[in-house]
Amino acid sequence: MTSQFPAETSASGAFVRQPYTFRGRFSRDGSTPFPAEAGRYRLYVSLACPWAHRAVIVRELLGLQDAISLAVVDPVRDERGWALRPGDGHGPDTVGGFQFLSEAYLRSDPNYQGRYTVPCIWDTQTGQLVTNNYPDITLDFETEFTAFQRPGAPDLYPEALRPEIDALNAVIYEEVNNGVYRAGFAANQARYDEAVTTLFARLDALEQHLATRRYLVGGQLTEADIRLFTTLVRFDAVYVGHFKCNLRRLVDYPNLWGYARDLYQRPAFRETVNFDHIKRHYYLTHPKLDPTGIVPLGPLTDWDAPHQRERLA
């Protein structure tokens, strides 16, 4: 059976993330096989996964809850992959009828050999996966599902800012979002040192960047902020200890910590953060990193403390 644990490494000991092979795109005008329609598609996520969390936040911010249904997997993943179980009010899966997310992958492609990843989107009309390529999912929600967004929904990917957003996203992905995984799953000291040094150099730069700006790009909430937030909200809870990203904590960065609280205190962010799922997933799913399976009680952090970022508006 294909391993479902994200610990692939190169010959040099560096963590390598697998390619995402389902890459269908949605379209407003029907120019792709998957036109943007309400009620047709189902989003499968883990509340523990930072890549999936992006899609959940964007779905909430844009008011797409009625247009795109949601299924949440159990946070504890084993060799069978993500399970859809009763509990936490999220299961069973009444739309796809899946007990394991692998069923959606193998129904779409019986020869599929990769990991069964979240987020992914199932087309209930054709009975196949549209995409598991997480960067495309939020962009398509923002640009192709506009007819189904709530009145007054924010423009998270404004056309004039896209070059700047894309450039920043590329750096944040490589050095922060994926950087914590490159540190956590490094197979030797040199690759770990390299990943951690790069990660904290970027966090230091972002700390300075946010000293005079409330948001990353253009003075408004954008896709870039959402992508950074999902790593920051997990940083002290799991990445500092579990992935050994411990040169500094998020709370040691005044601007980044205030910025993260500023976002968290908005309903679409707060209501989609589940620290129980986050900690149980990481500490119970990676036995090579945490063989005891003990889930830490801490850290005790006050995400509701005043952030005082309004002055930068």
Side chain identity at residue 11, one-letter code: A
158 Rama sector, left if φ>0, alpha if ψ -120 to 50, beta otherwise: beta
112 part of the active site:
no
181 part of the active site:
yes
The catalytic residue among 44, 116, 181, 282 is 181
The catalytic residue among 41, 44, 49, 259 is 49
Q: What is the pLDDT of residues 233-260, one digit of tens each?
A: 999 999 999 999 999 999 999 999 999 9
| Residue 121 β-bridge partners | 43, 131
Confidence (pTM):
0.95
Distance CA 85, CA 98 (A): 9
DSSP 28: S
Domain boundaries, given as residue ranges, for the chain: 26-148, 159-273+300-312
Say which CATH class 26-148 falls into.
alpha beta
Q: What is the pLDDT along the chain (313 residues), one digit of tens a residue?
A: 344 445 577 778 888 887 889 999 999 999 999 999 999 999 999 999 999 999 999 999 999 999 999 999 999 998 889 999 876 556 678 899 999 999 999 999 999 998 999 999 999 999 999 999 999 999 999 999 999 999 999 999 999 999 999 999 999 999 999 999 999 999 999 999 999 999 999 999 999 999 999 999 999 999 999 999 999 999 999 999 999 999 999 999 999 999 999 999 999 999 999 999 999 999 999 999 999 999 999 999 999 999 999 999 7
Domain 159-273+300-312 CATH assignment equals 3.40.1350.10: no
| Of residues 40, 43, 26, the one with CA closest to residue 123 | 40
CB crowding 113-141: b at 16 or more within 10 Å, else e = eebbbbbbbbbeeeebbbbbbbbbbbbbb
